[in-house]
Amino acid sequence: MRARPDWRACIGLAALILLAGCAPTLNLEAERLPSHALSSQADSPLKTRLAARIPPGESGFHLLQEGHAALAARLALAQRATRTLDAQYYLFHNDTTGKLVAAALLAAADRGVRVRLLIDDIDTADKELGLAALNAHPNIQVRLFNPFHSRSTNLFVRGWEALRERTRLNHRMHNKVFIADGQAAITGGRNIGDEYFSAGHDLAFIDLDVLAAGAVVDSLSRSFDEYWNSEAAVPVSALPARPSDARLERATARLQAFRAHELDSDYGRALAAADPVPGLLAGTTPWHVARADLIVDPPEKAIKRSKSPSKLLLGQLAGLWLNPTRHALIVSPYFVPGATGMAYLEYWRSRGVQVDVLTNAYAASDVPIVHAGYANYRIPLLEAGVNLYELKPVAEPIGGRLRDLHHGSSRASLHAKTFVLDDTQVFIGSFNLDPRSMLLNTEMGLVIHSPELAREVTAIAEDAMRPERSFRPRLIIRTVDGLIERRLQWTDVDEGVARTFDVEPDTTPLQRGLLRVLQALPIEGYL
C-alpha cells in the first residue's frame, strides 16, 4: 500500500521556501577594495614606548589570564593607538564588554585612527544595523566572514539556508586577534563578550590570551590582511541595512555615555586596577622576550575543502618538529583527539612522555554534544596512560587563584586553548583539539619558545588540575563472570574530604542518559 503524502509537511516546506525567497539578501556585488596594514616602521608613541622595553628584532609576551586584565589591555591598546586598529573575532556580543570595545573603536576612529573590524557571520543576525552604523564612520570598515546570503532574522529561514549550503556555512572563522598600530597585539581564546571577561553572572569562561609586541606582530598583521582581503570577507555595505548619519551620531553618543557610566562603576574600577599595559610600557612589569612562530589556517579553509593538509594549522604545527621527550600538557575545553590525535598521544606515551590533559567536566561544558565525543575516548586514553583532569563547574577557593570567584557566578567553564611541551614551548591560541578546529573552522595561535612563559602556563594549569578544582577520571578493570569489564571512576577533594564517584559527577540521570545517546551518534567529524 502506497503511503499518502503528508500535505501539511509539503505546504510547510513550500511556505518556508517562499519565506526564504522573500527575505532580504546580501549584495554579493558590493565593492571590495583591498587594504593592508600600514608599515610597522613608521613612528608612533606606542612604538617608541615598546622599543625601550623589547630589543630590536625580538618579540615580547605577557600572559592575560584574568578576565579584567584581558579586557583592560584591549581598551588600553585602543586608547593608545594613533594610526591603526585591526580586530578579528568569531563572536562580538552586544553586551557590556561588547559595547565597551565598540566605544573604544569609535573613540579611536574619532581621533583619526583607521579601524578595521572583521567578524564571523555566525552570530550577527540581530546586530546588522549596529554594524552598519559603525561602518558608516569614515574611519571604520567592517566586514563579515563567510556570511549567510539571506539576511532574515527568522531562525527557520537561516536554518533552511544552513541546510542548503551546509558545506560552506559549516566552516567558520574562529580566529581572534586585536592589533594596535602594528606594534602590539592580543590573541588567544577570548571572543568579545561578558562571559570571557568576568562581567557575566550566569557563566564565566576560564580563558587565556597573550599580549604580544615586537617582531611577531608583523606576522599577525599579515594574517589579518590575508583574511580581510579574502573572497570570504564581505563588506558590511553589502547588507540591506542602511543607517543614516543621525543614527551613527545617536549610536556614538549612546556608546560613549555607556562607556563613561561603566568605567565609573565597580566593574570599571576593577578594569583600571587590573590594566597591565601601563606597567609593561613603564618597565615595572617585565616582558617575556622570546622567539615565536605564528601558525594560522589560510582563509580558504572555510570555502575550499581541497586545501593541502600541510598548509593547515596542524600541518604547520607538525612542520615545527615539536616533539616532546619528557612532558606534554594539553589544555582544551573541547577535547576529541580522533584517530590522528590518539596516534600522537599513544606514540608519546610509548616513549615515556608524561601526557596530562585538562578539559571540561560534563557539568562544566557549555557544549554537551562535544563532551560526548570526548567521553568515547576516555577509556582508550586512560589505557594508553594519559592523565585526564576534568574541570569542575564551581571550584573550591583554596588559595592561589585560577580565576576570579566573586560575583556569585553560578557556573564556570574552561575555554582556554593552550599546550606546553617539555617546559620550553607553549602554544596559545584559538585551536581546540577536536575535529571542528582541525578540519572545519579556521584557527590561529602562537608557538612561543620560552621556558619562563611555559612554566607560567604550566603553573596555571596545575592549579586548575588540583583535586579541589578538577575531577580525576581513572580506569577500573575487573573480571565479572569470566569477562573483563572496564569502567570509569572519578575522584576529587571537597572541603578537605576525598570523594569517589561511580557515575559522571554533578549530573542527573537524565543528563547521563542524554550523554549515552549522544555518544552513539556518528557525528564526531562535526564536533
Would you say residue 354 has pLDDT above 60? yes
pLDDT band at 122 (very low <50, low <70, confident <90, very high): very high
- The predicted pLDDT at position 305 comes to 63
Is residue 404 flagged as an active site residue? no
Would you say residue 228 has pLDDT above 80? yes
Query: Catalytic residue among 417, 434, 463, 492, which?
Result: 417
- The predicted pLDDT at position 252 comes to 87
Is residue 415 flagged as an active site residue? yes
Between the CA atoms of 479, 356, 459 and 198, what dihedral angle is there, to the nearest 10 degrees?
-90
- The predicted pLDDT at position 227 comes to 98
Mean pLDDT of the chain: 90
- Name residues whose C-beta falls within 8 Å of residue 225's C-beta, 6 or more positions apart in sequence: 35, 36, 37
Tens-place pLDDT, residues 412-445: 899 999 999 999 999 999 999 999 999 999 999 9
Give CA–CA dist 56/403, Å, rounded: 35
Please identify which residue in the block is written with the cell numbers 605564528: 294
Among 241, 221, 235, 240, which Cα is nearest to 294's?
Answer: 221
- The predicted pLDDT at position 12 comes to 46
Tens-place pLDDT, residues 386-418: 999 999 997 555 444 444 433 444 588 999 999
Would you say residue 101 has pLDDT above 70? yes
Q: Which residues of 266-285 are buried (b: 16+ CB within 10 A; e: fewer)?
A: ebbebbeebbbbeebbeeee
Query: Catalytic residue among 174, 288, 371, 392, which?
Result: 174
Decide: helix, strand or coil at residue 327.
Answer: strand
- The predicted pLDDT at position 307 comes to 61
The larger pLDDT score, comparing residue 1 to residue 219, is at: 219
Is residue 502 flagged as an active site residue? no
pLDDT band at 526 (very low <50, low <70, confident <90, very high): confident
Query: Catalytic residue among 86, 120, 181, 275, which?
Result: 181
Which grid coordinates are listed for 343? 596516534
Give CA–CA dist 100/70, Å, rounded: 13
Residue 129: its H or E element:
helix 128-135
- The predicted pLDDT at position 23 comes to 67
User: From residue 53, how far is each of 118, 185, 430, 449 by CA, in Å?
Assistant: 30, 15, 27, 19
Tens-place pLDDT, residues 20-62: 455 688 988 888 899 999 888 888 999 999 999 999 999 999 9
Please identify which residue in the block is written with the cell numbers 583532569: 389
First to last CA, the chain: 41
- The predicted pLDDT at position 20 comes to 45
- The predicted pLDDT at position 256 comes to 93
Type of residue numbered 408:
G
- The predicted pLDDT at position 154 comes to 79
Q: What angle do CA 104, 106, 110 make, to 5 degrees?
A: 115
Q: What is the pTM of this model?
A: 0.92
Tens-place pLDDT, residues 202-216: 888 999 999 999 999
Is residue 47 flagged as an active site residue? no
Query: Catalytic residue among 47, 99, 176, 392, which?
Result: 176
Would you say residue 241 has pLDDT above 90? no
- The predicted pLDDT at position 453 comes to 98
- The predicted pLDDT at position 410 comes to 54
Residue 317: its H or E element:
helix 313-319
Would you say residue 475 has pLDDT above 60? yes
The predicted model gives 326-352 an average pLDDT of 96
Best CATH choice for the domain 43-282 from the list 3.40.50.300, 2.102.10.10, 3.40.190.10, 3.30.870.10: 3.30.870.10
pLDDT band at 11 (very low <50, low <70, confident <90, very high): very low
Tens-place pLDDT, residues 490-520: 999 999 999 999 999 999 999 999 999 999 9
The predicted model gives 236-245 an average pLDDT of 86
Query: Catalytic residue among 415, 434, 463, 492, which?
Result: 415
Is residue 423 flagged as an active site residue? no
Would you say residue 106 has pLDDT above 50? yes
Give CA–CA dist 69/95, Å, rounded: 18
Is residue 174 flagged as an active site residue? yes
Tens-place pLDDT, residues 135-148: 999 999 999 999 99
Type of residue numbered 48:
T
Among 429, 411, 292, which Cα is nearest to 362's?
Answer: 411
Tens-place pLDDT, residues 149-199: 988 777 777 888 878 888 888 999 999 999 999 999 999 999 999 999 999
Best CATH choice for the domain 308-526 from the list 3.90.1170.20, 3.40.640.10, 3.30.870.10, 3.90.550.10: 3.30.870.10
Query: Catalytic residue among 422, 423, 449, 506, which?
Result: 422
SS (H, E, C) 20-34: HHHCCECCCCCCCCC
**Where are the CATH 3.30.870.10 domain residues in the chain?**
43-282, 308-526
